[in-house]
Structure 1
């Protein structure tokens, strides 16, 4: 994930900062509790496509 792109992206739900998780290839937002997939290098920032973070992921 390009670091400069990550700096300008925001969660569409909470408008909070997104963080890249390399193991799952997702962007996650602790504020909204959602993880957004990255498809072919493009973040899919749609709430309907996001998955809820687990309790463990929220605390990490």
Structure 2
């Protein structure tokens, strides 16, 4: 389920404050930081973004 566009506009990466991009895969929806140095991917569980740095996936 994609996130509301209005919500996505106000969300930012908690680590570097860059905007987030909705990258919804088949089974693992996530919000990915658009910052050049950061790039953390935050999970979305039950339609709720989990914006905790400890829960984020590091870029490959």
TM range (shorter): 0.7 to 0.9
SS in structure 2 at match of 1:52: coil
Deviations along 1:2-42, one digit per CA (max 9) or x if unpaired, are 11100000000000000000113100003212000001100
- Normalising to structure 1: TM-score of the pair? 0.83
Moved over 2 A (4+): none
Which residue of structure 1 aligns with residue 8 of structure 2? 6
Identify the match of residue 33 of structure 2 among 25, 29, 36. Answer: 29
Structure 1's unaligned 5+ residue stretches are 55-60
Which residue of structure 1 aligns with residue 54 of structure 2? 48
Structure 2's unaligned 5+ residue stretches are none
Give me the CA root mean square deviation.
Answer: 0.9
For 2:34 and 2:58, locate their aligned partners in 1 and report how far apart those are by CA, in whole Å.
Answer: 10
- Normalising to structure 2: TM-score of the pair? 0.83
Q: How many residues align?
A: 54
